[in-house]
Protein backbone atom coordinates (compact mmCIF):
# COMPACT_ATOMS: atom_id res chain seq x y z
CA UNK A 1 0.00 0.00 0.00
CA UNK A 2 2.79 2.41 0.90
CA UNK A 3 4.66 1.76 -2.35
CA UNK A 4 1.50 2.28 -4.38
CA UNK A 5 0.53 5.44 -2.51
CA UNK A 6 4.03 6.90 -2.70
CA UNK A 7 4.82 6.07 -6.32
CA UNK A 8 1.30 6.33 -7.73
CA UNK A 9 -0.03 9.32 -5.83
CA UNK A 10 -3.44 7.67 -5.54
CA UNK A 11 -6.32 8.86 -3.44
CA UNK A 12 -7.06 6.07 -0.95
CA UNK A 13 -10.52 5.56 -2.49
CA UNK A 14 -8.92 5.06 -5.90
CA UNK A 15 -6.41 2.57 -4.57
CA UNK A 16 -8.90 0.52 -2.54
CA UNK A 17 -11.34 0.67 -5.45
CA UNK A 18 -9.01 -1.03 -7.94
CA UNK A 19 -10.13 -4.33 -9.42
CA UNK A 20 -7.65 -6.86 -10.74
CA UNK A 21 -8.89 -6.26 -14.29
CA UNK A 22 -7.95 -2.57 -13.97
CA UNK A 23 -4.25 -3.48 -13.76
CA UNK A 24 -2.34 -3.56 -17.02
CA UNK A 25 1.14 -4.19 -15.71
CA UNK A 26 2.77 -5.63 -18.81
CA UNK A 27 4.13 -3.60 -21.69
CA UNK A 28 1.74 -3.00 -24.60
CA UNK A 29 -1.45 -4.01 -22.82
CA UNK A 30 -4.50 -5.05 -24.81
CA UNK A 31 -6.31 -1.76 -24.14
CA UNK A 32 -3.88 0.01 -26.49
CA UNK A 33 -4.10 3.19 -24.41
CA UNK A 34 -0.68 3.21 -22.76
CA UNK A 35 2.50 1.34 -23.70
CA UNK A 36 3.95 1.27 -20.19
CA UNK A 37 2.58 -0.56 -17.14
CA UNK A 38 -0.47 1.30 -15.88
CA UNK A 39 -3.83 1.03 -14.17
CA UNK A 40 -7.26 2.29 -15.13
CA UNK A 41 -8.92 4.11 -12.24
CA UNK A 42 -12.63 3.47 -12.83
CA UNK A 43 -15.52 5.08 -11.02
CA UNK A 44 -17.60 2.18 -9.62
CA UNK A 45 -20.22 3.36 -7.15
CA UNK A 46 -21.18 -0.22 -6.23
CA UNK A 47 -17.89 -1.48 -4.81
CA UNK A 48 -18.51 -3.81 -1.83
CA UNK A 49 -15.89 -1.98 0.28
CA UNK A 50 -17.46 1.39 -0.59
CA UNK A 51 -14.21 2.57 -2.13
CA UNK A 52 -15.05 5.10 -4.75
CA UNK A 53 -12.85 6.85 -7.28
CA UNK A 54 -13.49 10.57 -7.18
CA UNK A 55 -12.64 10.94 -10.86
CA UNK A 56 -15.50 9.96 -13.12
CA UNK A 57 -13.89 9.46 -16.49
CA UNK A 58 -15.97 7.15 -18.68
CA UNK A 59 -14.71 3.58 -18.87
CA UNK A 60 -15.92 0.21 -20.11
CA UNK A 61 -15.02 -3.44 -20.39
CA UNK A 62 -14.81 -4.94 -23.85
CA UNK A 63 -14.01 -8.62 -24.29
CA UNK A 64 -12.62 -8.63 -20.75
CA UNK A 65 -10.35 -5.64 -21.31
CA UNK A 66 -10.87 -2.39 -19.43
CA UNK A 67 -10.50 0.82 -21.40
CA UNK A 68 -10.94 4.41 -20.28
CA UNK A 69 -11.13 5.68 -16.72
CA UNK A 70 -8.18 7.63 -15.38
CA UNK A 71 -4.98 6.03 -16.64
CA UNK A 72 -2.12 6.13 -14.16
CA UNK A 73 1.41 4.92 -14.79
CA UNK A 74 2.84 2.25 -12.51
CA UNK A 75 6.47 2.25 -11.32
CA UNK A 76 8.75 -0.82 -11.40
CA UNK A 77 8.59 -0.93 -7.57
CA UNK A 78 4.80 -0.99 -7.76
CA UNK A 79 4.87 -3.91 -10.20
CA UNK A 80 7.31 -5.71 -7.92
CA UNK A 81 5.19 -5.22 -4.81
CA UNK A 82 2.11 -6.31 -6.72
CA UNK A 83 3.66 -9.65 -7.66
CA UNK A 84 4.93 -10.20 -4.11
CA UNK A 85 1.46 -9.52 -2.81
CA UNK A 86 -0.42 -11.65 -5.33
CA UNK A 87 1.90 -14.63 -5.11
CA UNK A 88 2.59 -14.48 -1.39
CA UNK A 89 -0.37 -12.92 0.38
CA UNK A 90 -3.49 -12.79 -1.76
CA UNK A 91 -5.91 -15.48 -0.55
CA UNK A 92 -6.32 -18.19 -3.15
CA UNK A 93 -9.76 -18.67 -4.54
CA UNK A 94 -11.24 -16.48 -1.85
CA UNK A 95 -11.76 -13.47 -4.01
CA UNK A 96 -14.78 -13.83 -6.25
CA UNK A 97 -15.26 -10.08 -5.99
CA UNK A 98 -12.16 -9.43 -8.14
CA UNK A 99 -10.87 -6.54 -6.07
CA UNK A 100 -7.17 -5.90 -5.67
CA UNK A 101 -6.83 -5.07 -1.99
CA UNK A 102 -8.29 -7.52 0.51
CA UNK A 103 -8.15 -8.17 4.21
CA UNK A 104 -5.29 -10.56 4.91
CA UNK A 105 -6.15 -11.63 8.46
CA UNK A 106 -9.05 -12.42 10.70
CA UNK A 107 -12.54 -13.62 9.97
CA UNK A 108 -12.88 -11.21 7.08
CA UNK A 109 -9.84 -12.64 5.28
CA UNK A 110 -10.26 -12.25 1.54
CA UNK A 111 -12.93 -9.58 1.77
CA UNK A 112 -12.34 -6.28 -0.03
CA UNK A 113 -10.28 -3.90 2.08
CA UNK A 114 -12.18 -0.77 3.01
CA UNK A 115 -10.54 2.67 2.81
CA UNK A 116 -11.26 3.23 6.52
CA UNK A 117 -9.31 0.06 7.39
CA UNK A 118 -6.42 1.21 5.22
CA UNK A 119 -6.39 4.58 6.98
CA UNK A 120 -6.36 2.94 10.40
CA UNK A 121 -3.55 0.58 9.48
CA UNK A 122 -1.44 3.45 8.21
CA UNK A 123 -2.16 5.44 11.38
CA UNK A 124 -1.14 2.48 13.57
CA UNK A 125 2.04 1.97 11.60
CA UNK A 126 2.83 5.67 11.88
CA UNK A 127 2.44 5.57 15.66
CA UNK A 128 4.53 2.40 16.01
CA UNK A 129 7.38 3.87 14.01
CA UNK A 130 7.22 7.21 15.81
CA UNK A 131 6.33 9.14 12.67
CA UNK A 132 3.19 10.56 14.19
CA UNK A 133 -0.09 10.68 12.33
CA UNK A 134 0.38 9.33 8.81
CA UNK A 135 -2.56 9.77 6.44
CA UNK A 136 -2.90 8.33 2.94
CA UNK A 137 -3.10 11.85 1.56
CA UNK A 138 0.42 12.65 2.86
CA UNK A 139 1.74 10.41 0.10
CA UNK A 140 -0.34 12.20 -2.50
CA UNK A 141 1.07 15.53 -1.34
CA UNK A 142 4.66 14.39 -1.46
CA UNK A 143 4.04 12.72 -4.82
CA UNK A 144 2.69 15.97 -6.26
CA UNK A 145 5.54 18.03 -4.85
CA UNK A 146 8.13 15.57 -6.14
CA UNK A 147 6.61 15.54 -9.63
CA UNK A 148 6.47 19.33 -9.68
CA UNK A 149 10.12 19.56 -8.62
CA UNK A 150 11.24 16.98 -11.15
CA UNK A 151 9.22 18.62 -13.92
CA UNK A 152 10.54 22.12 -13.17
CA UNK A 153 7.16 23.27 -11.95
CA UNK A 154 5.26 22.09 -15.03
CA UNK A 155 1.66 22.13 -13.78
CA UNK A 156 0.28 20.15 -16.71
CA UNK A 157 2.62 17.25 -16.01
CA UNK A 158 1.75 17.33 -12.30
CA UNK A 159 -1.96 17.55 -13.07
CA UNK A 160 -1.87 14.49 -15.29
CA UNK A 161 0.46 12.49 -13.05
CA UNK A 162 -1.86 12.93 -10.10
CA UNK A 163 -5.12 12.92 -12.02
CA UNK A 164 -6.25 16.35 -10.85
CA UNK A 165 -9.14 17.98 -12.65
CA UNK A 166 -7.27 21.18 -13.42
CA UNK A 167 -3.86 22.78 -13.18
CA UNK A 168 -5.26 25.48 -10.92
CA UNK A 169 -5.93 22.91 -8.19
CA UNK A 170 -2.33 21.74 -8.39
CA UNK A 171 -1.15 25.32 -8.46
CA UNK A 172 -3.15 26.37 -5.41
CA UNK A 173 -2.32 23.39 -3.25
CA UNK A 174 1.08 22.20 -4.31
CA UNK A 175 2.95 24.74 -6.34
CA UNK A 176 4.92 26.42 -3.60
CA UNK A 177 8.09 27.96 -4.70
CA UNK A 178 11.33 26.38 -3.56
CA UNK A 179 12.79 28.92 -1.11
CA UNK A 180 16.28 28.03 -2.31
CA UNK A 181 15.39 28.42 -5.96
CA UNK A 182 17.96 30.82 -7.54
CA UNK A 183 15.25 33.10 -8.98
CA UNK A 184 13.44 33.25 -5.66
CA UNK A 185 16.67 33.85 -3.83
CA UNK A 186 17.67 36.59 -6.28
CA UNK A 187 14.25 38.27 -5.96
CA UNK A 188 14.54 38.35 -2.19
CA UNK A 189 18.08 39.63 -2.32
CA UNK A 190 16.95 42.41 -4.66
CA UNK A 191 14.15 43.31 -2.27
CA UNK A 192 16.62 43.24 0.59
CA UNK A 193 18.92 45.54 -1.34
CA UNK A 194 21.73 43.02 -1.44
CA UNK A 195 22.00 42.81 -5.21
CA UNK A 196 23.63 46.16 -5.76
Residues that bind Zn ion in the complex, under the rule CB under 5 A? 24, 29, 31
Among residues 57 and 119, whose Cβ is nearest to Zn ion? 57
User: d(Cα 172, Cα 31) in Å, to the nearest integer?
Assistant: 34
Among residues 27 and 172, whose Cβ is nearest to Zn ion? 27
3-state SS, residue 112: strand
Encode 58-106 in three state secondary structure.
CEEEECCEEEECEEEECCHHHHHHHHHHHHHCCCCCCCCCCECCECCCC
User: Least Å distance between CB 32 and Zn ion?
Assistant: 8
Q: At what angle do helices 136-150 and 167-174 cross, to 10 degrees?
A: 100
Asked if 27 contacts 76 with a C-beta cutoff of 8 angstroms, the reply is no
User: Least Å distance between CB 22 and Zn ion?
Assistant: 8
Among residues 71 and 99, whose Cβ is nearest to Zn ion? 71
Which residue number places its CB atom closest to Zn ion?
A: 31
User: Least Å distance between CB 7 and Zn ion?
Assistant: 18
Among residues 31 and 95, whose Cβ is nearest to Zn ion? 31
User: Least Å distance between CB 160 and Zn ion?
Assistant: 16
Amino acid sequence: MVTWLADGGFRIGELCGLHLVDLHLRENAACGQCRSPHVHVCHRPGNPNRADAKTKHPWRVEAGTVTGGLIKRVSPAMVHSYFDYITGEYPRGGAGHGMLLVQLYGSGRGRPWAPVAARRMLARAGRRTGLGLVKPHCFRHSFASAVLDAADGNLVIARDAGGWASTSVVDEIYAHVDVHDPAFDAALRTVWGENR
